[in-house]
A and B are shown apart, each in its own frame.
Chain A
Amino acid sequence: MDLSYSAEEQAFRDEVRAWLAANLPPEIRAKVVNYQHLSKAEFIRWHKILAGKGWSVPHWPVEWGGTGWNITQRYIYDEEFGLAGAPGLPPFGPAMCASVLHRFGTPEQKARYLPRIREGDDFWVQGYSEPGAGSDLAALKCRADRQGDHYVVNGQKIWTTLGHYGDWIFCLVRTDAAAEKRQEGISFLLIDMATPGITVRPLILMDGGHEVNEVFFDDVKVPVENLVFEENKGWTVAKYLLGHERMGSGQVGASKRELAKLRELATREQKNGQPLIDDPRFRDRLSRVEVELAALELTSMRFLDKMRRSGQPPGADVSMLKIRGTEIQQSITELMMQAVGPMAQPFVAVDDGAIDHFTSRLAPRYFNFRKTSIYAGSNEIQRNIIAKMTLGL
């Protein structure tokens, strides 16, 4: 065994780090490390900077603009993003829709959509969940009825992250309401959000932020060539995509950066005339999170090594990275909020002399991060996956 990175891997890490230091716009970084939401323009600006370097879609096939990096390099790249405070690109286009197109798309669909995703020309969002279909996704009702060379879509999607930025949305829709099994009547559609009949309504979360939306479809006409894979075979596509969604959910790099920030914060805060970090009660809780993060990092590296050697995807065990990663992120947000004590209480939308912006974001950040154990397959669903696939329960 050898737990260290090779000289080549270390050199690659240095290269990514140096490039990020030189090219990540300070105002975008400031928003990330101060827990502010990025605007669409900022996402696109960052996407185009990455595309200019050829790094917007590292994991894609090389002929479509991928970098050809191995999985270790991709892990290092992601970790360096987290450490640097660089925003990850929203996964809906480059990671999710593109994965589906690479696997299931026709040559025409690939040629039409992939280059624009790579270059950041189209902002994609995801239309999966519905009011009655969350963890039980196959219960979805949003329907698409074939009429000549179009589908007519009617229904509602919910929790559409960044839906208000969306140019395009990929949706799971019901194309056969009479199918014997619920999973058999579902199709995967690509929908231009400028099409008449689409309404996006904000859902303001308890942190006061606008991040997710409801999307309503009212007789929306979608050309049949926007169907991906076969009609009524959308569940196959959905399952493939859900496997992708759990990858890299550990967020080791970002958590490392935030723990360092938390230490800094707890060194500055005073309790009984001493730095808070010297209070055994606080310090031990912080140390336990550091222990958990070290265990998560080592476990991620073990999975990575297994993937590298076997050439196989990591399987159901990757669910534990999502579970532990999100639990750690949530613990950090909680400790951050507690570290500032009463200063966590005032709600300020913008800078306000007495309270720096970072401090004012800590409680909202804690509120917001309750989402992490719910989204992308709730942590209970992840446990179901491990129970069934790994343990045979």
Chain B
Amino acid sequence: MNFELTDEQQQLADSLAKFLNNEYGFEKRKAIVQSPSGLSESVWATFAEMGLTAIALPEADGGFGGGAMDLMAAMEACGEALVVEPLLDNIALAGRLVARAGTEAQRAALLPGLIDGSQRLAFAGLEPGRRYELTPATTSARPEGAGWVLDGSKCVVLGAAGAHRLIVSASTAGGSSLFIVDPQAPGVSLNPSRTVDGLRSADVRLQAVALEADALLGPLNGALPLIDEATDFATALLCADAVGAMKHANDATLDYLKTRKQFGVPIASFQVLQHRMVDMYIQAEQSRSMAILAAAKVDAATDVAERRRAVSMAKVKIADAARQISQESVQLHGGMGMSEELKISHTFRRLTMIAQRFGDADHHLERLAAL
């Protein structure tokens, strides 16, 4: 038993935190969020230089062959800074699907660009009206000639705008399959939007999109276990992201309690506020424990059920804690907590969306029950 980070993990987290401290302050982040692309290419390039895009990919493809444990502390640093660049969508979802399902040619075409930061990917999995369902239904692919024709629509595809390729899940005659789609291809249209927590997403329409045979990624009809695994991997990293955002919420609130004066005294002297702050602190520590468990199990679970169980338990805890910590941090900041001008209101929005992404607590309780 050992809960210490390795030297490499600690160094990465430290240098990333230092970089984000200097280059990703609240004002700089705001400028990025309001920029046309909604992300900073120079920040993305730095992420790639630091190896963030390479860590979880196989060594054979130019990656470092690491796992969620190796990214956990870095994701926490990103969470604390409320990073909006689509790291998770690239390294955990789309990149992982390509690495795990791709042929040598597909991996060679997509992964070097992802690793060096020159090209991004996005995973188009969700469909309108179907909540967190991983099995595609309204998007379908039918064979035509040697290739495929894709029809349907995808929603809330994070990181879609500006992505070099989309990884699209679609129903095929005997199951679910994945396809590599060029967003510029005829029949593909993106309707981009900003998320309430400052990310970029798009709804994707696919109308008679003609694909070559080599657009099929992974086994025909056999994509679901791959999607399930990548989503669990991403959920584990999202939990680490959440722990970082919780840390910011708690640090900022604690600081506010100690400096804000009312009735002639710092409001930190009021026991009713102290106890609520303590409960926020306990929730954050419990969340950290569960994020560690989730990362450990997506890397090394002996079977699928064990992995799912750890991830869903972690997500239940993190969803509950994210809700309590975000709500309480705004409450304890008083009116200032409501203000767009304070980072805490942005952390509130981020934690609120994290609680729901990849399934809220109810979704994961149901998944636990099915195990």
Chain A interface (Cβ < 8 Å from any Cβ of B): 1-6, 9, 72, 280, 283-284, 287-288, 290-292, 294-296, 298-299, 301-302, 304-306, 309, 317, 320, 323-324, 380, 383-384, 386-387, 390-393
Is A291 touching B2 in the complex (CB atoms < 8 A)? no
Q: Tell me whether A301 and B369 are in contact in the complex, defined as CB-CB below 8 angstroms, given that A294-B290, A387-B274 are known contacts.
A: no
Q: A3-B296, A294-B293, A299-B289 are contacts. A305–B1 as well, Cβ < 8 Å?
A: yes
Which of B203-211, B275-283, B348-356 is found at the contact surface with chain A?
B275-283
> Does A391 contact B290, Cβ atoms closer than 8 Å?
no
Chain B residues, CB < 8 A from A390? 281
**Interface range on chain B: under 10, 10 to 19, 20 to 34, or 35 or more?**
35 or more
Min distance, Cβ B322 to any Cβ of chain A, angstroms: 14
Residue of A nearest to B276 (CB): A383
With A283-B369, A288-B316, A298-B292 already in contact, 8 other A-B pairs whose C-beta atoms are closer than 8 Å = A1-B2, A3-B293, A4-B1, A284-B365, A295-B287, A383-B278, A387-B271, A391-B277
Q: CB-CB < 8 A to B258: which residues of A?
A: 392-393
Q: Are A302 and B289 in contact (CB under 8 A)?
A: yes
Contact: B254 with A391, CB < 8 Å?
yes
Cα separation A302 to B284 with both chains bound (whole Å): 14
Chain B positions 289 through 304: 1 when the CB is less than 8 Å from some CB of chain A, otherwise 0: 1101100100000000
B residues in contact with A380, CB < 8 Å: 275
Tell whether, in the assembled complex, residue B1 and residue A384 are in contact, meaning their CB atoms are under 8 Å apart: no
The answer to whether B317 touches A295 (Cβ under 8 A) is: yes
CB distance from A256 to the nearest CB of B (A): 14
Closest to B310 in A: A294
Question: Cβ of B274 and Cβ of A320 under 8 Å apart?
Answer: no
B263 within 8 A of A: no
Q: How far is the CA of A280 from the CA of B3 in the complex (A)?
A: 35
A296, B289: Cα distance in complex, Å: 8
Nearest neighbor of B321 in chain A, beta-carbon distance: A295
| Nearest A-chain residue to B270, judged by Cβ | A393
Tell me which residues across on chain A come within 8 A of B2, comparing CB atoms.
Answer: 1-2, 305
Q: How far is the CA of A2 from the CA of B299 in the complex (A)?
A: 11
Q: How far is the CB of A292 from chain B (nearest CB, A)?
A: 8
By a CB distance below 8 angstroms, the chain B residues around A384 are 271, 274-275
C-alpha gap A292/B282 in the complex (Å): 12
Question: Can you report 30 residue pairs joining A to B where beta carbons are below 8 Å apart?
Answer: A1-B2, A1-B5, A1-B296, A3-B1, A3-B3, A3-B292, A3-B296, A5-B1, A284-B369, A288-B316, A290-B313, A291-B290, A291-B317, A292-B317, A294-B290, A295-B287, A295-B317, A298-B289, A299-B285, A301-B1, A302-B289, A302-B292, A320-B285, A323-B282, A383-B278, A387-B271, A391-B278, A392-B258, A393-B254, A393-B268
User: Closest B-chain residue to A2, C-beta based?
Assistant: B2
How far, in whole Å, are A4 and B2 apart by their CA atoms in the complex? 8
Tell whether A296 pairs with B286 under 8 Å between CB atoms, given A384-B274, A387-B274, A387-B277. Answer: yes
Contact of A295 with B369 in the complex, beta carbons under 8 Å: no
The B contact surface, by secondary structure, is helix
CB-defined contacts of A299 to chain B, threshold 8 Å: 285-286, 289
A287-B316, A290-B313 known; A391+B281 contact, CB < 8 A: yes
B254 contacts which chain A residues (CB < 8 A)?
391, 393
A291 touches B3 (CB 8 A): no
Interchain CB contact under 8 A, A6 and B282: no
Given A383-B278, A387-B278, A390-B281, also A298-B365 (CB < 8 A): no
* Contact of B286 with A324 in the complex, beta carbons under 8 Å: yes
Which residues from B are CB-within-8-Å of A298?
289-290, 292-293
The 9 closest A-B pairs by CB, nearest first: A298-B289, A295-B286, A387-B274, A383-B278, A305-B3, A299-B289, A284-B365, A383-B275, A386-B278
Q: Which of B15-54 contact A (CB under 8 A)?
A: none
Q: Is B226 an interface residue (CB 8 A)?
A: no
Chain A residues with Cβ under 8 A from B313's Cβ? 290-291, 294
**B170 contact set on A, CB distance < 8 A:** none
Q: Which residues of B contact A317 (CB under 8 A)?
A: 285
A309 to chain B: closest CB distance in Å? Answer: 7
Alpha-carbon separation in the docked complex, A1 to B3 (Å): 5
Instruction: With A324-B282, A383-B274 as known contacts, state yes or no: A291 contacts B4, CB within 8 Å.
Output: no
List chain B positions with a Cβ less than 8 A from chain A: 1-5, 69, 254, 257-258, 268-269, 271, 274-275, 277-279, 281-282, 285-290, 292-293, 296, 313, 316-317, 320, 362, 365-366, 368-369
Docked CA distance A259–B277 (Å): 29
Identify the closest chain B residue to A298 (Cβ).
Answer: B289
Residue in B closest to A75 when the chains form the complex, CB atoms: B1
CB distance from A102 to the nearest CB of B (A): 27
A294 proximity list for chain B (CB < 8 A): 290, 293, 313, 317
> In the docked arrangement, what's the CA distance between A178 and B2, Å?
52
Task: Say how far A212's CB is from chain B's closest CB, in angstroms.
Answer: 27
Residues of A within 8 A of B290 (CB): 291, 294-295, 298
CB distance from B303 to the nearest CB of A (A): 15
A288 to B368, CA, bound (A): 10
Name the residue of chain A whose CB is nearest to the CB of B70. A1
**CA of A306 to CA of B285, assembled, Å:** 14
Known A384-B271, A391-B254, A393-B258; contact A1-B292, beta-carbon cutoff 8 A: yes
Among A1, A280, A309: residue with most chain B CB under 10 A: A1
A370 to B258, CA, bound (A): 34
Distance of A320 Cα from B280 Cα, bound (Å) = 11
Quick check: A9 and B278 within 8 Å, CB to CB? no
How many Å from the CB of B75 to the closest CB on chain A? 14
Are B1's CB and A6's CB within 8 A?
Answer: yes
Q: Are A2 and B369 in contact (CB under 8 A)?
A: no
Instruction: Judge whether A280 and B369 touch: CB under 8 Å.
Output: yes
Shortest Cβ gap from B71 to chain A (Å): 12
A2 touches B289 (CB 8 A): no
Who on chain A is nearest to B69 by CB? A1
When distances are taken between beta carbons in the complex, the residues of chain B under 8 Å from A5 are 1
How near does chain A come to B285, taking the closest CB pair, in angstroms? 6
CA distance A353 to B112 in the complex (A): 73
Given A298-B290, A393-B257, A304 contacting B316 (CB threshold 8 A):
no
A287–chain B nearest beta-carbon distance, Å: 5
A residues less than 8 Å from B69 (CB atoms): 1
Task: Check if A301 sits within 8 Å of B316, measured CB to CB.
Answer: no
The reply to whether A287 and B369 form a contact with Cβ atoms under 8 Å apart is yes
Smallest CB-CB separation from A379: which chain B residue?
A: B275
Residue of B nearest to A299 (CB): B289
Residues of B close to A386: CB separation below 8 A? 278, 281-282
- Inside 8 A of B277's CB, which chain A residues have their CB? 387, 391, 393
Contact pick for B3, options A302, A324, A383, CB 8 Å: A302
Determine whether the beta carbon of A291 is less than 8 Å from that of B278: no
Query: Complex Cα distance A386/B257, Å?
Result: 15
A295 (CB) vs chain B CBs: closest residue: B286
